Amino acid sequence: LRSVPWYSVYGNHDYQKDPCACSTDPSDCAQVNWDVTNLTRFYMPGFNWFRQHPDLDLEVVGLDLNKFMDGWNMSTAHDDLNFGDCQWTDCKAECLGNSNARAEQAFDLFRERFENSTARNLLVFSHYPTDYFSSVPDFLRNLSNASQHDIIYFGGHRHNVDNTTTWQTQPNRNWVVGGGGGWSCDGPSQ
């Protein structure tokens, strides 16, 4: 398993003790790794990033969308969503500001790659499943648009593995792949 790079983005628990929560500089982050050939660590060259694989006609896009930690509650307005785990950091206000900025940067990056990538296939992922983004309909609309790209989206957070409890993105696909993170799997079919 360690003979290929593993791609990553930060999830909610990752930020709780990481100096990254309080900083705008990716070099302050314990998990950031710019070296795709360093197979001892996951590859994550920043908060939001992409990597092209022309031989596969594929582009991978990693997004930090921790602002949407409470997005499961679809009655919460976009402006009222915030990264609740900032309460466990040493810098709650800075953490909230950083998570808002990183989410905005994530959507900007996704939009830019959606519009400009020449790859037929986009593999997009964040820590959260698509049903957490009901307050961002443009993002869901683009994930569902197959006119330029075949898009598959992977999200986690929820301790389940399925493609039925998510906001559907047909004709493209998406999965929640949150294997429990040390807790348990919550779905009845696990």
Element (H, E) at 175: strand 173-177
Element (H, E) at 102: helix 92-116
Residue showing tokens 């792949």: 177
In 3-state terms, what secondary structure has residue 11? Answer: coil
Model pLDDT for residues 84-110, shown as the tens digit of each residue? 999 999 999 999 999 999 999 999 999
CA 141 from chain centre, in angstroms, equals 17
Q: What is the chain's length?
A: 190
Model pLDDT for residues 25-80, shown as the tens digit of each residue? 999 999 999 999 999 999 999 999 999 999 999 999 999 999 999 999 999 999 99
Distance, CA of 67 to CA of 82 (rounded, Å):
5
Short-list 59, 58, 179, CA closest to 129: 179
Model pLDDT for residues 110-143, shown as the tens digit of each residue? 999 999 999 999 999 999 999 999 999 999 999 9
Short-list 135, 133, 130, 138, CA closest to 169: 130
- Give me the residues paired with residue 62 across strands: 49, 125
Q: What is the CA radius of gyration of the chain?
A: 16
Report the predicted TM-score, pTM, of the whole model to 2 decimal places. 0.94
Per-residue confidence (pLDDT) for residue 190, from 0 to 100: 57
Per-residue confidence (pLDDT) for residue 159, from 0 to 100: 83
Element (H, E) at 125: strand 121-125
Q: With a cut of 60, say whether residue 182 has pLDDT above it.
A: no
Residues 167 and 134: beta-carbon distance below 8 Å: yes
State the pLDDT confidence band at 160, using cuts at 50, 70 and 90.
confident
Per-residue confidence (pLDDT) for residue 189, from 0 to 100: 60
